């Protein structure tokens, strides 16, 4: 099976889940979010960090990771946090949500870059995309957009990640450019995964299921 297509399956799966639950808020989405955040963060530490720090000067790697964090903060001014799990619904806004769409696409495109056949990053992106796809699809339906707008939005959003992967794996880029982009993606992943984990714990209350989800995610990422 071609791993590069996994992120597309995540969006399709999210869409199917929303259809099956008939737009009702998906139960346990917070648990799924917590799991996905912890899983993405662990894979970033286990797989991406060593790769980037092996090829880049330490301080330079750190600088580009910070650039990634800042870039994601910047993107979220426009997406309002859709990459990490919340979109605000404006009932019956018939205009296409261009800002959310474009910032989500830039994010999705970049997160395709560190995916290779020889690493497991694709699983992190796959799991991270499922709850996001659920939330975005729910938002699109509840906002009353037309069906073709919703399909176009999801379709383009879905192909952005494989597009990034194909470019990073097949296009002859300037030597070192790929490692720099991967460092930026580390920053993006760190920002969204910490935000997901932070926002999934309401008022820092102890929640056994959430803790178990997080520990399981770390363990799976470690042994994968």
Question: Which residue stretch of 80-88, 91-99, 144-152, 213-221 sits at the interface with Zn ion (rule: CB under 5 A)?
Answer: 80-88
Q: Max alpha carbon distance in the chain (Å)?
A: 50
* CA pseudo-torsion sign 7, 31, 21, 147: negative
When the beta carbons of 47 and 111 are compared against Zn ion, the nearer one is 111
**Measured distance CA(66)–CA(190) in Å, rounded:** 10
Question: Which residue stretch of 50-58, 75-83, 144-152, 163-171 sits at the interface with Zn ion (rule: CB under 5 A)?
Answer: 75-83
Cβ(100)–Cβ(80) below 8 Å:
yes
Binding mask 35-74 for Zn ion (x = CB under 5 A): ----------------------------------------
Query: Is residue 97 close enough to count as binding Zn ion by CB under 5 A?
Result: no
Question: Which residue stretch of 47-55, 110-118, 145-153, 163-171 sits at the interface with Zn ion (rule: CB under 5 A)?
Answer: 110-118
Query: Is residue 111 close enough to count as binding Zn ion by CB under 5 A?
Result: yes
**CA proximity to 154, closest of 90, 87, 108, 91:** 108
When the beta carbons of 81 and 97 are compared against Zn ion, the nearer one is 81
Question: Which residue stretch of 14-22, 83-91, 176-184, 200-208 sits at the interface with Zn ion (rule: CB under 5 A)?
Answer: 83-91
**Measured distance CA(135)–CA(89) in Å, rounded:** 11
When the beta carbons of 34 and 144 are compared against Zn ion, the nearer one is 34
Task: List the one residue from 14, 37, 68, 81 that touches Zn ion (CB under 5 A).
Answer: 81
Cα pseudo-dihedral 82, 88, 94, 95, rounded to 10: -50
**Measured distance CA(61)–CA(157) in Å, rounded:** 28
What are the residues binding Zn ion (CB under 5 A)? 81, 83, 111
């Amino acid at each position: 099976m071609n791993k590069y297509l996994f992120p597309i399956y995540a969006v399709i799966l999210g869409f199917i889940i929303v259809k099956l639950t008939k737009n009702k808020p998906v139960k346990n989405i917070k648990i799924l979010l917590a799991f996905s955040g912890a899983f993405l963060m662990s894979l970033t530490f286990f797989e991406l960090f060593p790769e980037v720090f092996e090829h880049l000067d330490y301080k330079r790697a750190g600088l580009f990771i910070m650039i990634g964090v800042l870039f994601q903060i910047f993107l979220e001014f426009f997406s309002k946090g859709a990459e990490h799990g919340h979109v605000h619904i404006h009932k019956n806004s018939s205009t296409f949500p261009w800002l959310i769409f474009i910032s989500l696409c830039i994010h999705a495109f970049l997160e395709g870059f560190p995916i290779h056949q020889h690493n497991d990053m694709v699983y992190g992106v796959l799991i991270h995309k499922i709850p996001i796809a659920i939330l975005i699809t729910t938002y699109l339906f509840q906002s009353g957009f037309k069906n073709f707008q919703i399909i176009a939005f999801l379709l383009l959003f879905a192909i952005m990640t494989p597009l990034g992967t194909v470019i990073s794996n097949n296009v002859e880029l300037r030597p070192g450019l790929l490692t720099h982009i991967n460092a930026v993606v580390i920053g993006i992943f760190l920002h969204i995964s910490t935000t997901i984990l932070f926002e999934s714990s309401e008022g820092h209350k102890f929640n056994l299921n959430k803790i178990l989800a997080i520990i399981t995610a770390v363990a799976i990422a470690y042994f994968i």
